[in-house]
């Protein structure tokens, strides 16, 4: 059965969406893989810079940490001491900024990374007063690159807990004063690959372009195929219309020939012309399907008469029939004759010597036709019911016909909302099965 083009278009759209989804999934996975590799490479560079800076800054960093550890726990003194530490951290940061950038450039010589790095103390917790001393976004930066971090990724984090008791001697008074310092200090080193997205897109653009090219090519080929198919269907429809028009136009001259033949005196000539007129009428009848369903097939005898007439007409083929007739409410005499006549004629044309008919009229009408002809190639089975379709093979070249016999049968079956199937027999020949409803 042929499906309308809209079903093929819907199927193509679904397949195309699946293909696009797979391409998008593949591109996304490639994006994540490239992102991971770039982050790992930039992390290695940032780690090398961090190690070198730790060697250069050990003395200064230790001094700054020592300031935090000796912070006074009195609020007023804390504020002033924190300001001093902030000033020292700013000075240290300004001293080492160029060194940080030079180290990044040195280790980044073979890459085009834009790396930012920052070392900072981001939490100083007063465990005696139970209070955080560093305001959010106001950390103490030990060193930082010129490029600023926007979305930090951590490469190192440290935590120090202090609980020191310092004793100081007052020489004037000759007394000793003890002061306790208890803090938890948190520091970290972050980095960021600032041009990460640009580098990923730069690497992934060829893949995106190839995917778009493939999808575009598939869409173009489908559009081109659909366009050619539509053009071919238009040509076929025009051809069918032309043949049908010719058949209609032949009715008038045939009628004229009938009347004219009555005046021919020579009996032999008259019989020859009559046979040719009948031949023309039969050909036109196969093209122009009549709508004649008024006379319902009445009984088994009517069926036998049709079969006997065909036996006399086609003496070269043995026709065996089995008939079970309970009742018939729908199938017309004319349609029954058309089905049986075209089936037998089709078997004769394609080399059958035996044809078995099995008719069962009950709750459903079942008509089975089996012959021992040359059969039908598997590739042609879906098309044999198309109007004017003929199997293309050398053995068919000598066989006359328009390719409308099975089309007529299929049209009749469809008009009753029935079903027709066919299959090649195991040895030779073909079997047709027709099932029609038999209820009003």
β-strand pairing of 140-144 with 153-170: unpaired
Region 412-431: what's the mean pLDDT? 89
Residue where a domain stops, chosen among 194, 224, 246:
194
Q: Is the pLDDT of residue 1 over 50?
A: no
Region 109-137: what's the mean pLDDT? 89
Q: What is the pLDDT of residue 81?
A: 87
* Torsion region of 403: left, alpha or beta (phi above 0 gives left; psi -120 to 50 gives alpha): left
Q: Is the pLDDT of residue 293 over 70?
A: no
* Mean predicted lDDT score pLDDT of the chain: 83
Region 384-404: what's the mean pLDDT? 66
Q: Which two tokens stand for residue 323?
A: 């008939």
> pLDDT tens digits for 311-351?
988 888 999 999 999 999 889 888 898 899 989 988 888 88
Residue where a domain stops, chosen among 130, 160, 194:
194
Q: What is the pLDDT of residue 91?
A: 87
Residue where a domain stops, chosen among 194, 219, 237:
194
* Number of structural domains the chain divides into: 2
Residue 17 lies in a domain: no
Q: Is the pLDDT of residue 395 over 60?
A: no
* Lowest-pLDDT range of 47-56, 149-158, 429-438: 47-56
Report which of residues 256 and 121 the model is more confident about.
Answer: 121
**Spatial distance between the Cα atoms of 43 and 38, rounded to a whole number of angstroms:** 8
> pLDDT tens digits for 356-373?
999 999 999 999 999 998
Residue 227 lies in a domain: no
Share of the chain above pLDDT 70, in %: 84
What is the per-residue DSSP string for 306-342? Answer: HHHHHHHH-TTSEEEEEEEES--SS-BHHHHHHHHHH
Q: Is the pLDDT of residue 60 over 60?
A: no
Confirm whether pTM is higher than 0.85: no
Banded model confidence at residue 168, pLDDT cuts 50, 70, 90: low
β-strand pairing of 153-170 with 175-193: antiparallel
Residue 422 lies in a domain: yes
190 and 41 assigned to the same domain: yes
**Spatial distance between the Cα atoms of 270 and 277, rounded to a whole number of angstroms:** 11
User: What range defines the domain where residue 350 resides?
Assistant: 292-437
Q: Is the pLDDT of residue 392 over 70?
A: no
> pLDDT tens digits for 262-275?
777 777 777 777 77
């Amino acid at each position: 059965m042929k499906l309308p083009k809209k079903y093929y278009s819907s199927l193509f759209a679904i397949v195309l969406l699946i293909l696009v989804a797979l391409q998008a999934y593949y591109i996304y996975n490639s994006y994540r893989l490239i992102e991971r590799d770039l982050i790992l490479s930039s992390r290695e560079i940032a780690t090398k810079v961090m190690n070198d800076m730790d060697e250069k800054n050990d003395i200064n960093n230790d001094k700054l940490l020592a300031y935090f550890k000796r912070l006074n726990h009195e609020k007023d003194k804390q504020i002033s001491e924190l300001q001093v530490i902030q000033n020292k951290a700013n000075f240290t940061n300004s001293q080492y900024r160029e060194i940080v950038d030079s180290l990044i450039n040195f280790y980044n010589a073979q890459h085009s990374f834009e790396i930012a790095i920052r070392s900072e103390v981001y939490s100083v917790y007063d465990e005696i007063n139970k209070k955080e001393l560093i305001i959010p976004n106001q950390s103490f930066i030990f060193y930082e690159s010129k490029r600023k971090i926007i979305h930090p990724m951590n490469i190192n984090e440290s935590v120090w807990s202090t609980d020191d008791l310092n004793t100081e001697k007052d020489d004037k008074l000759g007394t000793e004063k003890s002061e306790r310092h208890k803090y938890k200090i948190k520091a970290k080193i972050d980095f960021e690959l600032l041009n990460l997205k640009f580098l990923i897109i730069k690497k992934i653009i060829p893949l995106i372009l190839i995917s778009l090219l493939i999808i575009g090519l598939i869409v173009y080929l489908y559009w081109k195929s659909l366009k050619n198919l539509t053009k071919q269907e238009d040509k076929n429809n025009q051809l069918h219309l032309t043949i049908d028009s010719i058949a209609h136009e032949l009715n008038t001259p045939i009628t004229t020939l009938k009347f004219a033949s009555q005046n021919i005196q020579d009996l032999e000539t008259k019989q020859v012309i009559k046979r040719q007129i009948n031949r023309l009428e039969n050909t036109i009848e196969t093209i122009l399907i009549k709508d004649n369903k008024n006379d319902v097939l009445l009984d088994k005898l009517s069926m036998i008469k049709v079969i006997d007439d065909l036996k006399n007409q086609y003496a070269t083929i043995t026709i065996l029939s089995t008939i079970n007739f309970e009742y018939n409410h729908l199938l017309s005499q004319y349609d029954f004759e058309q089905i049986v006549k075209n089936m037998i004629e089709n078997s004769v044309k394609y080399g059958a010597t035996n044809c078995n008919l099995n008719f069962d009229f009950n709750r459903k009408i079942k008509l089975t036709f089996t012959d021992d002809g040359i059969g039908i190639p598997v590739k042609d089975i879906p098309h044999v019911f198309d109007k004017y379709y003929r199997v293309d093979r050398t053995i068919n070249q000598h066989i006359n016909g328009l390719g409308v016999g099975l089309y007529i049968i299929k049209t009749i079956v469809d008009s009753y909302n029935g079903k027709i199937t066919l299959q090649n027999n195991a040895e030779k020949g073909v079997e047709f099965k027709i099932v029609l409803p038999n209820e009003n």
